[in-house]
Structure formats: structure tokens, C-alpha cells
């Protein structure tokens, strides 16, 4: 059964490299944006931890020096900065003081408390100055619930700023350098990630293409590129693999052609040697023996004639086969009634079939079917098959020929219930010099080129030939002429 192969188009869902590049650029944009924010966050966290020493700052955590026994409060750092501390009871009186304030107050009223609170909460680090000496200090207050007293810490503004600067672990210059280093480091990581993505989409396909090309240039035509891609690289893969397959097939055909050429030379030498040896032998015998009787001489001349015909048939068919292999050979197709053509063809072989008591059936439509074919060469192709059936099958063989159409295809079958063809020969039966009679005694006069010529001619008609055979059960040839139907 013949089935047509459909060419599939695999360009669906194809992605272009331009779209892939745009996608990668967008991805790179988001990566860079993410790196920027990540760098800022990390630099802020690390820089804050390194830039300030918050744990040791009394101004940021005044409760760190609080004691229930206020006389034991360590005021050394405060006094070193020119500051002081005071302890006030619930009536506003100063009950304890360390350090030297610019202005000593023994009892605080509400106005003084208001100034202290506003200064400590609202203006802790401002450069605001006033003639009032109390505003030259930065104040912090801590209340002790257990002992019911208020601790006031006061440090001169200039000393407070110096105090903070001295407690920084990192200078501004190195802080900026650290931030830049962190940003560059994360940026480098981002480029590594991006390069990996780009490598997958660009570098790896190019590397595979280069490796495949090198293999092809070194004569390894079995090289193939296995790459999953829907971009132009996928098209390059398909083109490369198609080219490699074509080169591999051409190499195989070349090797097969060389083998066929060697085999042809050997077979021709062998097939010509026998008849020519017989011709030379008998002719030499006739020349050297003048006393041979006329009847014996006639018999020898008949043998010489038969073997000369065998040699001539072989050379004729060899010439025909060689001509078919030429690129210059062209068919001369005409638009003819193929049904009438087959009826005339098979009618010429009926006498030969009847000589061997063949039973024959022909199923050829009575209507006119116009097809495009070369009458002489299609006659030759079909005649070789018909003659093989008549020549090699025994008497009383049943011979059948049919013709029918499917769409624009014409199908011809030629079958018999004769001796069949051995299984091991079926795959090579259409090759030159392949014969079913392995003994090569040539009693039937076969050259071994008939089916090879038939196959070549049918393929030139844009057709194909298929063989089905069982030994001692018969043989069936199915010939398909593609798109040959005209009307």
C-alpha cells in the first residue's frame, strides 16, 4: 500500500532573536534596578552599623547610666565633655548634681521644665543658638519610677557633636567607598547571572554549530546538532541537519555507485566471458576441422549464433541501463489513453501465455483515461515484468493485470501464482545483475538487468514500484504513477 508523505512546516511558535534580545534587555533592566535598591539597602544596613556606635552613646540611650542610687551614677564621660547631670525630686528641687553647669538652678519651675523638654525632644542636634545659656546644651531626661526622681543630662552642643564623631567606627570617605564596593560586587553578580542566561541563548548554540561544522569539514557527515530552540538558531539547526543528511546520503550514494560500478564490471566480465568463450571455442573448432559434416556444422553454428545473441542482448540492455543513468536522458511524455495502451500491450503477449497454457485475467477499465507518459519506455518497463512472469513460471500459471485510479494517481498491478521470489532476494531484486536463478546457467537467457531498467523507467515517470512475493505462492508488482492522470 502506498502512502504519500506530507511535508510539515515547523515554523509555528517560532521566536525571533530580536524578541529574545528585547526580553533579555528588559530582564537586565529589572536586574540592574533590583541591584541598585539591594545595594542601597545593604549599604545602609552595613554602613549604619559601622558608621555609628550607638551602644556607647549616652545621648541616644541616657537610661544606660541610670542607677537607683543616684550618687553612684557614672558621670565621667559627661563631665569630660563639659556637661553635667542633675537629680530632681517630685517637687522640682535639685537634690543631686555632678559637673559644672553654666547656670545653677536649685529648683525648676514649669517654664524651666518646658525649656528642657523642648530642647531635648525637638532641637537635639540643631545649630540653633540663643543668648540664653540653657540653649547651649542638649538635654536628655530619664525618670526612675522606683525611687521617684528625674535624671537630667546636659551636654554642650559642640561637645555633643564631637562626642558623636568620636564614636563613629567609619569615616564618611570610607563609608562611601564601602557603599560603592557593595554596589559593584552585587552588579558583578548580576552580570554573571545575565551572562549565564545569554550563554544559554547565544553562546551554546554557536558552540554547537561550530562543533558540527568542524565535524562536517573533517568528513564526518553523520554529525547532527541537537538543540532545543524556537529562534533563528532553530532554523540554522534544521538547515544544518538537512545539509548534513544530504551530504551523508550523497556520500552513501557515491559509495553505493562505486560498489555498483565495480559489481557491473565483474558481472559484465562474467556474463560476457561464457558466451564469448563458447563462440570462440566452437568457431575455432569449425576452422580447424574441415571434415565436419554439414549437419554437425549447422548445429555448432546454431550454438555460436545463440551465444552471440546472448552477448548482444547483454550489451544492448547494459547500454540501455547506462543511458537511463545519464543526467541527459529525458522521457518524451504524451497525453494518451493508458487503458488502450495496456490493452494493446497485453494483447501482444497472449500468444506466449497460451503457449504455456497460462490462465489470464485483465481488469482494465473500458472508459478512456488520459494520462501523461512515455509510451515506448513505459512499454519497456512493463514488458520486462510481464516477460519475467511468462519466462520463469511453469505452465498453467494464473496471470492477472489490473488498472485503477485514486484521485490523480494511476495504479497498475501485475501478479501471478507462480514460483515466487526468495525473501533474501526481494530487497535487491531491482538491482542490476540480480537473478533468482543463483546457478547463473543462463538457460533462460536472462541478463539480470530487466527489473533494474523497469524500476528506473517507472521512477522517471514520477512513480514507484513495490514487490510482494511468497516463495512457491506467487509474485505481485504494484506500480504507482503519481499525478499522472490528466482526465
Shared domain for 375 and 428, answered yes or no, is yes
Q: Which of 293, 323, 353 is the C-terminal boundary of a domain?
A: 323
Per-residue pLDDT tens over the stretch 358-368: 999 999 999 99
Question: Which tops the pLDDT comparison, 288 or 440?
Answer: 288
Residue 237 confidence (pLDDT): 84
The answer to whether residues 287 and 378 belong to one domain is no
Looking at the DSSP bridge assignments, the partners of residue 467 are 477
- Whether residue 225 lies inside any domain: the answer is no
Q: Are 477 and 415 in contact (CB under 8 A)?
A: yes
CA-closest candidate to residue 437, choices 298, 271, 325: 271
Q: Estimate to the nearest angstrom the gap between the alpha carbon of 92 and the chain centroid.
A: 88
Range with the poorest average pLDDT among 88-92, 117-121, 336-340, 410-414: 117-121
pLDDT of residue 1: 42
Angle, helices 204-217/232-288, rounded to nearest 10 degrees? 10
Same domain, yes or no: 364 and 249 = no
| 312 vs 268 pLDDT, higher one | 312
Cα separation, 6 vs 11, in Å, equals: 15
pLDDT band at 6 (very low <50, low <70, confident <90, very high): very low
Task: Please give the pLDDT value at position 8.
Answer: 41
pLDDT score for 11: 46
- Say if residue 133 is in the same domain as residue 176: no
- The grid coordinates of residue 244 equal 548534513
Mean pLDDT of the chain: 80
206-221 tens-digit pLDDT = 788 888 888 888 888 8
> Does 476 fall in a domain?
yes
Distance CA 174, CA 63 (A): 32
pLDDT given for residue 122 in this prediction: 37
| Higher per-residue confidence, 261 vs 253 | 253
One domain, residues 345 and 315: no
Shared-domain flag, residues 337 and 389: yes
Q: What percent of the chain has pLDDT over 90?
A: 29
Same domain, 197 and 260: no
State yes or no: pLDDT of 35 exceeds 80. Answer: no
313 and 434 housed in the same domain: no
- Assign 163 a pLDDT band (cuts: 50, 70, 90): low
Tell me whether residue 8 is in a domain. Answer: no
Q: Is residue 82 in some structural domain?
A: yes
pLDDT at 238 over 60: yes
- 59-104 tens-digit pLDDT: 777 888 899 999 999 988 888 888 899 999 988 899 999 988 877 8
Q: What is the CATH number of the domain that holds 276?
A: 1.10.287.130
Q: What is the dihedral of CA 123, 126, 128, 134, to 10 degrees?
A: 50
Provide the pLDDT confidence category of residue 176 given band limits of 50, 70 and 90: confident
Q: Which residue has the higher pLDDT, 318 or 357?
A: 357
**Predicted local distance difference test score (pLDDT) of residue 440:** 43
pLDDT of 227:
78
Last residue of a domain, one of 291, 323, 355: 323
Report how far Cα 220 is from the mean position of its chain's Cα atoms.
19
Residues 6+ apart with CB under 8 A from 18: none
- Please say whether the beta carbons of 477 and 387 come within 8 A: no
For residue 475, the cross-strand partners are: 416, 469
Closest CA to 245 of 223, 214, 217: 223
**Residue 97 sits in the same domain as residue 241:** no
- Are both 70 and 160 inside the same structural domain? yes
Residues 211, 138: one domain?
no
In a domain, 9, yes or no: no
Q: Among 258, 291, 323, identify where a domain stops.
A: 323
pLDDT at 56 (0 to 100): 47
pLDDT digits (tens, 9 = 90+) for 427-454: 889 887 777 765 444 555 566 788 988 9
Residue 141 lies in a domain: yes
User: Which of 470, 423, 479 is closest to 451 using CA atoms?
Assistant: 479
Q: Which of 127-136, 188-197, 211-220 has the highest mean pLDDT?
A: 211-220
Domain containing residue 135: CATH number: 3.30.450
Q: What is the CATH number of the domain that holds 334?
A: 3.30.565.10
- C-alpha–C-alpha distance, residues 419 and 407, integer Å: 34
Query: Which of 308-322, 333-347, 364-378 has the weakest average pLDDT?
Result: 308-322
Domain membership flag for residue 206 = yes
Please provide residue 225's backbone torsions phi and psi, each rounded to the nearest 5 degrees. -105, 120
Name which of 84-98, 115-129, 217-231 the model is least confident about: 115-129
Q: Is residue 204 part of a domain?
A: yes
Q: Which is more confident, 22 or 439?
A: 22
Say how many domains are in the chain: 4
Cα–Cα dist 388/353, whole Å: 12
Residues 246 and 309 in one domain: yes
- Distance (Å, whole) CA 481 – CA 468: 18
Domain that holds residue 318: 232-323
Compute CA distances 333 → 34, 284, 346, 460, 461, whole Å: 73, 48, 21, 10, 9
Amino acid at each position: 500500500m502506498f502512502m504519500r508523505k506530507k511535508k510539515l512546516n515547523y515554523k509555528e511558535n517560532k521566536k525571533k532573536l530580536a524578541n529574545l534580545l528585547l526580553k533579555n534587555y528588559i530582564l537586565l533592566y529589572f536586574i540592574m534596578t533590583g541591584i541598585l535598591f539591594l545595594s542601597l539597602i545593604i549599604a545602609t544596613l552595613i554602613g549604619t552599623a559601622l558608621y555609628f556606635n550607638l551602644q556607647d552613646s549616652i545621648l541616644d540611650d541616657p537610661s544606660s547610666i541610670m542607677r537607683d542610687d543616684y550618687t553612684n551614677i557614672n558621670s565621667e564621660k559627661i563631665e569630660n565633655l563639659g556637661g553635667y547631670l542633675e537629680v530632681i525630686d517630685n517637687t522640682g528641687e535639685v537634690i543631686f548634681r555632678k559637673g559644672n553647669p553654666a547656670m545653677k538652678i536649685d529648683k525648676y519651675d514649669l517654664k524651666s521644665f518646658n525649656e528642657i523638654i523642648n530642647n531635648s525632644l525637638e532641637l537635639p542636634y540643631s545649630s540653633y543658638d540663643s543668648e540664653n545659656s540653657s540653649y547651649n546644651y542638649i538635654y536628655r531626661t530619664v525618670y526612675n519610677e522606683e525611687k521617684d526622681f528625674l535624671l537630667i543630662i546636659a551636654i554642650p552642643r559642640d561637645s555633643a557633636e564631637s562626642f558623636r564623631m568620636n564614636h563613629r567606627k567609619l569615616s564618611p570617605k570610607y563609608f562611601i567607598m564601602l557603599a560603592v564596593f557593595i554596589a559593584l560586587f552585587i552588579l558583578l553578580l548580576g552580570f554573571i547571572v545575565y551572562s549565564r542566561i545569554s550563554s544559554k541563548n547565544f553562546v551554546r548554540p554557536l558552540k554547537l554549530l561550530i562543533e558540527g561544522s568542524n565535524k562536517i569539514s573533517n568528513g564526518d557527515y553523520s554529525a547532527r546538532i541537537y538543540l532545543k530552540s524556537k529562534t533563528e538558531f532553530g532554523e540554522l539547526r534544521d538547515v544544518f541537519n538537512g545539509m548534513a543528511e544530504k551530504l551523508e546520503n550523497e556520500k552513501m550514494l557515491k559509495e553505493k555507485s562505486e560498489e555498483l560500478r565495480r559489481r557491473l564490471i565483474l558481472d559484465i566480465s562474467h556474463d560476457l566471458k561464457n558466451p564469448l568463450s563458447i563462440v570462440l571455442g566452437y568457431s575455432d573448432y569449425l576452422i580447424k576441422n574441415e571434415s565436419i559434416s554439414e549437419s554437425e556444422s549447422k548445429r555448432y553454428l546454431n550454438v555460436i549464433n545463440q551465444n552471440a545473441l546472448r552477448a548482444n542482448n547483454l550489451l544492448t540492455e547494459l547500454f540501455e541501463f547506462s543511458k537511463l543513468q545519464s543526467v541527459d536522458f529525458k522521457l518524451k511524455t504524451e497525453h494518451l489513453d493508458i487503458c488502450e495502451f495496456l490493452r494493446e500491450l497485453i494483447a501482444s503477449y497472449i500468444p506466449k501465455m497460451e503457449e504455456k497454457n497460462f490462465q489470464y485475467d485483465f481488469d482494465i477499465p473500458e472508459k478512456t483515461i488520459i494520462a501523461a507518459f512515455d509510451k515506448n519506455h513505459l512499454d519497456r518497463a512493463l514488458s520486462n515484468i510481464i516477460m519475467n512472469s511468462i519466462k520463469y513460471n511453469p505452465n498453467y500459471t494464473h496471470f492477472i493485470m489490473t488498472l485503477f485510479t485514486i484521485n490523480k494517481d494511476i495504479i497498475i498491478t501485475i501478479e501471478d501464482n507462480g514460483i515466487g521470489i526468495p525473501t533474501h532476494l526481494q530487497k535487491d531484486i531491482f538491482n542490476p545483475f540480480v537473478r533468482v536463478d543463483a546457478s547463473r546457467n543462463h538457460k533462460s537467457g536472462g541478463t539480470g538487468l530487466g527489473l533494474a531498467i523497469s524500476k528506473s523507467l517507472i521512477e522517471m515517470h514520477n512513480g514507484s514500484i513495490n514487490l510482494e512475493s511468497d516463495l512457491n505462492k506467487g509474485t505481485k508488482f504494484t506500480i504507482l504513477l503519481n499525478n499522472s492522470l490528466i482526465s
